Amino acid sequence: MKVLVTGGAGYIGSHVVRQLLLRGDDVLVLDNLVNGHREAVGVARLEVMDLSDNAGLKRLMKAFQPEAVIHFAAFIEVGESVRNPLKYYQNNTANGFSLLAACQEAGIRKFIFSSTAAVYGTPKAVPIPETASLAPINPYGFSKLFVEQALRDLAAASDFRYVALRYFNAAGADPSGEIGESHKPESHLIPLVLQAASGERKDISIFGTDYPTPDGTCVRDYVHVNDLADAHLKALDYLKDGGESRVFNCGYGHGYSVREVLDAVKRMTGKDFSVVEAPPRTGDPAELVADSRLLTEILKWKPQFDNLNAIIETVWNWELNRRY
């Protein structure tokens, strides 16, 4: 299939691009490289372009004529979205709308959207089903929810169909060690802990030790990026087979606490590092765990890396031989 991947030079996008290429899809990556890496796209074609470039988008759609679009391009820092909300509404929401308009004009009817567990805000219960109330607690979550709403409305008004994947905590790296997570600044726990293990970072902070969780630290559902990538391929096939528009949670349905992650990294790497206990961050829910039964039942998703050690091993492999 001919697939346009926005943000395909970023962390999750590059893992999806790699799997699409492996199965023989024709892929074009659109990325402005603001947070992405040219090396991450491998042999895929890369168009360095900003999503806000309407004329460029139009030209690209006409030249490439994709059958489907997978849309990753966005800003991803929750804290920054609180400090600078318009930056997020501009890039994640307004540019998302521009892309949808370009798709509509080009007659593209299959669309996969990177949504987030942040659309749920602080959940009333875990695991969180897709039907839970949507109540973001930061501009990042709202910036994504607005796109989800536009997708719903567009699908209701036309024969456009979409899958929105609400990722929980993406983690891990491709076992080849050729691509992995490289955010600057890095804010995700597992790469940060491994950077502490490798000596690149002097310590690691635990934000909050008094949460109502078994060991008092926050629990998150870490989903390996290759399993996440596989969910995108399955979503594409689902739309190709005529599947109706749907939203799916992407997670394993169980989580690990911050302390469990730290202990697992120390065990696996054999390295010790200092841990600083810091106050909780505002808006950090105690536990975020996906109810992902729909993904397994409807998309027949079969995760291969549902194991914290497997996730850590692939990140360690990446951190030790990092290419970008």
Ligand X SMILES: NC(=O)c1ccc[n+]([C@@H]2O[C@H](COP(=O)([O-])OP(=O)(O)OC[C@H]3O[C@@H](n4cnc5c(N)ncnc54)[C@H](O)[C@@H]3O)[C@@H](O)[C@H]2O)c1
Site residues (CB under 6 A) for ligand X, limited to 290-309: none
Nearer to ligand X, 40 or 106 (CB): 40
Nearer to ligand X, 216 or 284 (CB): 284
Taking CB under 6 A as the rule, does residue 206 contact ligand X? no
Q: Cβ of residue 152: shortest distance to ligand X, in angstroms? A: 18
Judged by CB under 6 A, the stretch of 58-66, 70-78, 193-201, 236-244 that binds ligand X is 70-78
Judged by CB under 6 A, the stretch of 81-89, 164-172, 203-211, 257-265 that binds ligand X is 164-172
Residue choice 93, 169, 257, 314 for contact with ligand X (CB under 6 A):
169
Q: Cβ of residue 12: shortest distance to ligand X, in angstroms? A: 4
SS3 of the chain: CEEEEECCCCHHHHHHHHHHHHCCCEEEEEECCCCCCHHHHCCCEEEECCCCCHHHHHHHHHHHCCCEEEECCCCCCHHHHHHCHHHHHHHHHHHHHHHHHHHHHHCCCEEEEEEEHHHHCCCCCCCECCCCCCCCCCHHHHHHHHHHHHHHHHHHHCCCEEEEEEECEEECCCCCCCCCCCCCCCCCHHHHHHHHHHCCCCEEEEECCCCCCCCCCCEECEEEHHHHHHHHHHHHHHHHCCCCCEEEEECCCCCEEHHHHHHHHHHHHCCCCEEEEECCCCCCCCEECECCHHHHHHCCCCCCCCCHHHHHHHHHHHHHCCCC
Taking CB under 6 A as the rule, does residue 74 contact ligand X? yes
Q: Cβ of residue 209: shortest distance to ligand X, in angstroms? A: 23
Catalytic residue flag (residue 140): yes
Task: Give, to the nearest 10 degrees, the angle between helix 189-198 and helix 308-320.
Answer: 50
Taking CB under 6 A as the rule, does residue 160 contact ligand X? no
Task: Kindly state the number of chain residues that form the binding site for ligand X, as judged by CB under 6 A.
Answer: 27
Taking CB under 6 A as the rule, does residue 25 contact ligand X? no
Judged by CB under 6 A, the stretch of 44-52, 59-67, 269-277, 299-307 that binds ligand X is 44-52
Nearer to ligand X, 186 or 216 (CB): 186
Residue choice 34, 86, 125, 278 for contact with ligand X (CB under 6 A):
34
Active site residues: 140
Where do contacts with ligand X occur on this chain (CB under 6 A)? Answer: 7, 9-13, 31-36, 50-52, 72-74, 76, 91, 95, 114, 116, 167, 169-170, 183
